[in-house]
Amino acid sequence: MALLQITEPGKAQDPHQRKRAAGIDLGTTNSLIASVRGGVTETLPDEAGEHLLPSVVRFTEGGTVVGLVAMQAAKEDPLNTIVSVKRMMGRGVEDIKGLGERLPYEFVSTEGGMVKLKTDAGEVSPVEVSAEILKTLVARGSETLAGNLDGVVITVPAYFDDAQRQATRDAARIAGLQVLRLLNEPTAAAVAYGLDTGHEGLVAVYDLGGGTFDISLLRLHTGVFEVVATGGDSALGGDDFDHRIAEWIIRESGYKDEVNPRQLRTLMMQARGIKEALSDADSTEVNVSVDGLEFSGQLTRTQMNELIADLVQQSIKACARSLRDAGDSVSKDSVSKDSFSKESVQNVVLVGGSTRVPAVRQAVTEFFGVEPLSDIDPDRVVAIGAAVQANILVGNKPEDEMLLLDVLPLSLGLETVGGLAEKVIQRNTAIPIARSQEFTTYKDGQTAMLIHVVQGERELVSDCRSLARFELRGIPPMVAGAARIEVNFQVDADGLLSVSAREATTGVNASVEVKPSYGLSEAEITDMLKASFDHAKDDIVARSLTEARVDATRVIEALQNALTEDGERLLQASDIELLQQAISVLQEVSETTDADAINEGVEMLGKASEEFAALRMDAAVRKAFAGHKLDELEESN
């Protein structure tokens, strides 16, 4: 009998004070939910005891079904049964075309350019399909944990871009979930093994699933993972092993006719069983009989290893490539290229069902020269890591427990002329990170520059959060646009931002340190993000109006200065009058909110002053050729 636990007097913890948190692996083929209960992290099964939920949703007039039942209908009702929806998340019709004929659906393009699928239940977006999978998992979670979930961590591939991550968040919102964080899948796997609390160093996560292979290199310092490289092959997986075995059976059987689809399907299913059996046994029986294709015999593990050897090597080549990419990507910072040799990889984590194949394990071990971590079920390790994170983020762990902060929650940028926010580092960028961007002066002879650091997704500075202001002084006087000011943003492993600015010719510099995440709750971040989507259209309009006004002001000022300097010398009074009129016309248009009209006005003023500009140019050229004379003239004045 298990021992009952008794808490220390006065330290009793009300079980209802514990928050309910879960980790979700929203996978291409299978999805899972996991949670920490009584100090143990486990994946949660359905009523039938199944942990893996096939990521398949079937939409019919009668309703929606998810999982195994949906998958079983895929053959008879392919158009309404959505599989591999993850490949479509955050994608437009054009991107989807690249996926080839593997997806048989009827696609429709939406206003925003995102894709939708036609089904008997109407048009559905990939976000809605994913929401159905999430709802099914969460129902399972609330049942097991006896109550609604307070928060979840959802994993995404490390290579997911902003649109794909946003789509995942949207799916969670539709499913009524509070997302504590999106976590990179390889990071989650590393967390499941507790590597985040271990030594500093490189971790390789080797993920071989049914149809895809991903390799990720993570660098750990002070408890934070940075994704230094991702690679792999989106068309390499266990299915390819099955294919090789099926081909072998056809050869051995001596069957000479064309193999029909039914035969191939049967062969592939049998091959999968044979392959999985050979993960444990040295040899297995093969008995096939389908539509006149007959074979009875044995396949040994050694034979199978030969059949799949080149496929396994293909994955190893991708590992080598990623190490090279990692070296290239950081060769600019302080870390030297040598720190990305395979010897520098301290831990290798195995993820995905196909890493159960012994030949795969052996190849990985030989390549990296370390025994890979594989104690945790490779199908479940990602969900388990996500659950560990969710438990910490929801507040079930003491304060001092380390928080894994691996991406920037909001974009960081600078204020530019006209109150516009220029993003230097996009949100969701893995940290630590450093980015530089060049800016220039707006006015002739400008010797100082105000650097205003802002955070947020909106286009106007007034809608973003102000983080810090500092001045760069001592810029040598030059014409507007000639100075080159390099502004460097650096976010360290603790989320601490430092911004520095440096003028290229003189090397004058100034810098400031800010803590961007300080004082911002997850809810505020969500609000800010929501506002940026709600206002996306307004913001674009506001931005183009501001840009047009800035342009107008610039050309007006330039022309006025030119007129003051050279007007009387080079132009007739009537010409000056005309230009003054053109200026007031543009000034008036600038007061309106019609960006197009302002842009037209700018162009017209440019045309009107072309001749004057040409005259000034001539004069300047003459002046240059007659330099001496001019000097003498000036001296005599």
Q: Which does 25 bind (CB under 5 to 8 A by kind): Mg ion, ligand ADP, none?
A: none
Shortest spacing between CB 92 and Mg ion, in angstroms: 24
Annotated catalytic residue 185: yes
The size of the interface with Mg ion (CB under 5 A), counted in residues, is 3
What DSSP line would sit under 513-567, residue for residue?
EE-TTTT--HHHHHHHHHHHHHTHHHHHHHHHHHHHHHHHHHHHHHHHHHIIIII
Q: Which does 379 bind (CB under 5 to 8 A by kind): ligand ADP, Mg ion, none?
A: ligand ADP
Shortest spacing between CB 86 and ligand ADP, in angstroms: 9
Residue with Cβ nearer Mg ion (27 or 67): 27
Question: Could you give the string, one character per residue 456-495, with x where binding to Mg ion holds by CB under 5 A and - elsewhere?
Answer: ----------------------------------------
Residue listed under structure tokens 């990602």: 382
Q: Which does 157 bind (CB under 5 to 8 A by kind): Mg ion, ligand ADP, none?
A: none
Q: Which of 86, 116, 275, 423 is catalytic?
A: 86
How far is 253 from 392, CA to CA, in rounded Å?
A: 56
Annotated catalytic residue 399: no
Residue with Cβ nearer ligand ADP (327 or 352): 352
What DSSP line would sit under 305-363, residue for residue?
HHHHHHHHHHHHHHHHHHHHHHHHHHTTSSS-GGGGSGGGEEEEEEESGGGGSHHHHHH
Q: Which does 356 bind (CB under 5 to 8 A by kind): Mg ion, ligand ADP, none?
A: ligand ADP
Largest CA distance in the chain: 111
Q: Say how many C-beta atoms besides its own lie within 10 A of residue 69's C-beta.
A: 11
Q: Among 245, 246, 191, 256, which Cα is nearest to 223's?
A: 191
Annotated catalytic residue 207: yes
- Contact status: 209 vs Mg ion (CB under 5 A): yes
Q: Which of 207, 406, 463, 539 is catalytic?
A: 207
Stretch that binds Mg ion, among 20-28, 90-98, 101-109, 557-565 (CB under 5 A): 20-28
Q: What is the DSSP-derived secondary structure letter of residue 468?
A: E
Q: Which does 87 bind (CB under 5 to 8 A by kind): Mg ion, ligand ADP, none?
A: none
Annotated catalytic residue 25: yes
Q: Say how many C-beta atoms besides its own lie within 10 A of residue 444's C-beta.
A: 14
Tokens of 369: 């020269």
Residue with Cβ nearer ligand ADP (27 or 413): 27
> Residues in the site for ligand ADP, rule: CB under 6 A?
27-30, 209-212, 237-239, 272, 275-276, 279, 352-354, 356-357, 379
Residue listed under structure tokens 């009827």: 106
Q: Which does 456 bind (CB under 5 to 8 A by kind): ligand ADP, Mg ion, none?
A: none
How far is 444 from 317, CA to CA, in rounded Å?
A: 55
Residue with Cβ nearer ligand ADP (171 or 383): 383
Residue with Cβ nearer Mg ion (29 or 609): 29
How far is 294 from 250, CA to CA, in rounded Å?
A: 9
Shortest spacing between CB 118 and Mg ion, in angstroms: 28
Residue with Cβ nearer ligand ADP (136 or 609): 136
> Which residue sits closest to Mg ion, CB atoms considered?
209
Count of residues making up the chain: 637
Shortest spacing between CB 157 and Mg ion, in angstroms: 9
Q: Which of 25, 128, 170, 242 is catalytic?
A: 25
Stretch that binds Mg ion, among 145-153, 209-217, 472-480, 626-634 (CB under 5 A): 209-217
Residue with Cβ nearer Mg ion (141 or 352): 352
Binders of Mg ion among residues 337 to 396 (CB under 5 A) are 352
Handedness of CA 602, 606, 609, 612 (dihedral sign): positive
Spatial contact of 68 and 128, defined as CB atoms under 8 Å apart: no
How far is 188 from 227, CA to CA, in rounded Å?
A: 12
Q: Which does 272 bind (CB under 5 to 8 A by kind): ligand ADP, Mg ion, none?
A: ligand ADP
Q: Say how many C-beta atoms besides its own lie within 10 A of residue 579's C-beta.
A: 19
Q: Which of 128, 170, 185, 457 is catalytic?
A: 185
How far is 27 from 34, CA to CA, in rounded Å?
A: 14
Distances (CA, A) of 194 to 219, 345, 396, 404, 492: 14, 16, 17, 12, 22
Contacts with Mg ion by CB under 5 A lie at 27, 209, 352
User: Which residues are the active-site residues?
Assistant: 25, 86, 185, 207
